[in-house]
Amino acid sequence: MAEDMLGDRSALCEWEVWGRTDQSLYLWALCESGTGSGVSTPVVVYLDAVGQVAAVNRPGDGAQYGQDVRRLFPPDIQERIFAHSFDADAALKRIVARRDVR
């Protein structure tokens, strides 16, 4: 997922799964590269027939964001997204701890 999110294989990600269907996972992900660039966003992970990641989709920036959230996510997940329910500070602390172990 790190490569999909930041184009960097060395980036680390933490996430919370907020919902699931047979072919999709709805989650919030925070990814950070070793250089400090990062992203924190809701994503849809599309799975193939054997459960492997086939594609990752996330809302666009700016004016596109709200429209994309409504298009990509079920209503209960939309509520969590717009309420900013993800604990980004805790996720970032886990990433830092994982980097320290390396």
What confidence category does residue 102 fall into, taking pLDDT thresholds of 50, 70 and 90? Answer: low
19-69 pLDDT per residue, tens: 999 999 999 999 998 788 899 999 999 999 999 999 999 999 999 999 999
pLDDT of residue 10: 81
- What pTM was estimated for this model as a whole? 0.84
- Domain boundaries, given as residue ranges, for the chain: 2-91
C-alpha radius of gyration, the chain, whole number: 14
